[in-house]
Amino acid sequence: MFAATAASRLARHGIHYAWVMLGLTFMVSVCTSAAVSLPGVLIVPMTDEFGWGRGTVAGAMGVMFCLFALMAPFAGALMIRYGLRRVVSAATILAVGAVIGLTLVNAPWQVWACLAVLGAAAGMVALVLSATVANRWFAERRGLAMGLLTAAFAAGQLSFLPAAAALATNFGWRAAVLPAILGLAICAVLYLLLARDWPADIGLAPYGRTDIVPPTIPSAGNAVTLSLSVLRESLGSTVFWILAGTFFICGLSSTGIVNQHFIPFCGDMGVSAVVAASFLAMMGVFNFIGTVCSGWLSDRFDNRILLAWYYGLRGLALIWLPFSSFDMLSLTLFAVFFGLDYVATVPPTVKLAALHFGPEKAAIVFGWAFAAHQLGSAVSAAMGGVWRDVAGSYGPAFITVGMISVSAALAVLTLHDARGRAVRAA
């Protein structure tokens, strides 16, 4: 009722309801990202209060990210089976419960349980939700929509973490979770009231089309079966292996190596942690800009070529960093250059998945590719530290990952061009 009325009123002003869906999903992505990043603010004051070791909370964070990755391949199937509104509303409510639970813990197992639930909830509404909304609601400007939704993860960290850190410092760590709780609760209510699963549910065609697309009939099987069946079908495609393999390298060369080891690498080179963290924050700002621009570019240029440029330039940046002087200028250049490229790979990867596997299966295929991304992150996060202990420097790890990233640029160029088929299908 609310959605149909709002869509009708917006249409009178030439505004398609797809932009409302994008706005709602952007809010969900921002607030979910903020909630997942909270443990980074809580770990020190929480362990100081209870006398736990840092490994206690760090281990729970590891479980959270594992469940985040494991849930992603099945999120697309859940959305097909139960609908966007139900899945997103349930996930945000679970996330609210998990974050509230963190404020009540008094034993390590309770922290692990809360963060496990938070990770599963976040995995249900991560980039797979963004891909689903972009593919269902946008026939045109799909890349721009995906770029905006991907950039929302950076926006969550940038907008909530400073407030969370200030609250933790002045009012205690339990107060730090309040913005995330409030944001997630608002998202749950708004999505339930205003979101719709398909444009056809309110009598609309996807943005950029004139014909109404009938909704996909939910599978009679469960979400796990559906997701695994799409995986079995996709495993026979070279395209899937290239997309999943290059996205593995994306995680290997971004969240795994840079997020986890940039600050200690700078410390080895005489740069304080506070200064290094400020460059990561700068990287986050340019990440937002770069991802939105990548979405815009993916609507206009061959996505294979874009990915080749992204992986190649990222690899060169990682190879260059160990040879830089680690002064203000060189670290600024790295933060700006790498930040623009940080998650710019997502919009072209989503569009290629839709072109080769169709909009109905694209979200599930991308979910499995995203699981590969998280696995890549885990590998470089773990091996970067091992390499530092063995070699006495992070340099070899960054150079090796950079060279692997360059290889991804070459691999993605082997994809065949599915644009002709996609145009005919549209």
Segment 291-311, tens digit of pLDDT: 888 888 888 888 889 999 999
Cα distance between residue 305 and residue 356, in whole Å: 16
Report the topology of domain 2-201.
Answer: Growth Hormone; Chain: A; (1.20.1250)
Same fold, 2-201 and 226-414: yes
Which of 81-90, 122-131, 193-202, 358-367 is predicted least confidently?
Answer: 358-367
Residue 359: what pLDDT?
66
- Percent of the chain whose pLDDT exceeds 70: 87
242: Cα separation from own chain's centroid: 19
Residue 298: what pLDDT?
83
Specify which of 146-160, 272-286, 307-321, 351-365 reaches the highest per-range mean pLDDT: 307-321
Residue 316: what pLDDT?
94
Cα distance between residue 24 and residue 202, in whole Å: 16
Residue 398: what pLDDT?
93
143-169 mean pLDDT:
73
Residue 222: what pLDDT?
61
Residue 383 has pLDDT above 90, yes or no: no
pLDDT band for position 420 (cuts 50, 70, 90): very low
392-415 mean pLDDT:
90
Specify which of 42-56, 89-103, 208-222 reaches the highest per-range mean pLDDT: 89-103
**Which carries the bigger pLDDT value, residue 76 or residue 192?**
192
CATH architecture group of domain 226-414: Up-down Bundle (1.20)
Residue 265: CB partners within 8 Å, gap ≥ 6?
Answer: 321, 394, 398
Residue 14 has pLDDT above 50, yes or no: yes
Residue 280: what pLDDT?
75
Exposure string (b/e) for 64-73, b if CB count within 10 Å is 16 or more? bbbbbbebbb
Backbone angles phi, psi at 138, to 5 degrees: -125, 120
Q: Please tell me whether residue 345 adopts helix, strand or coil conformation.
A: coil
- Residue 339's Cβ-side half-sphere holds a number of Cα atoms within 13 Å equal to 19
Give the position of tokens 């040879």. Answer: 323
364-388 mean pLDDT:
78
Q: Please tell me whether residue 207 adopts helix, strand or coil conformation.
A: strand
Q: Is 416 exposed, middle or buried (0-12, 13-18, 19+ CB in 10 A)?
A: exposed
DSSP structural state of residue 252: I
Specify which of 40-49, 107-116, 118-127, 382-391 reaches the highest per-range mean pLDDT: 107-116
Cα distance between residue 255 and residue 280, in whole Å: 11
pLDDT band for position 328 (cuts 50, 70, 90): very high
Backbone angles phi, psi at 400, to 5 degrees: -65, -45
Every domain of the chain and the residues it spans: 2-201, 226-414
pLDDT band for position 219 (cuts 50, 70, 90): low
Q: Please tell me whether residue 386 adopts helix, strand or coil conformation.
A: helix
Mean residue pLDDT across the chain: 81
Residue 421: what pLDDT?
44
pLDDT band for position 129 (cuts 50, 70, 90): confident
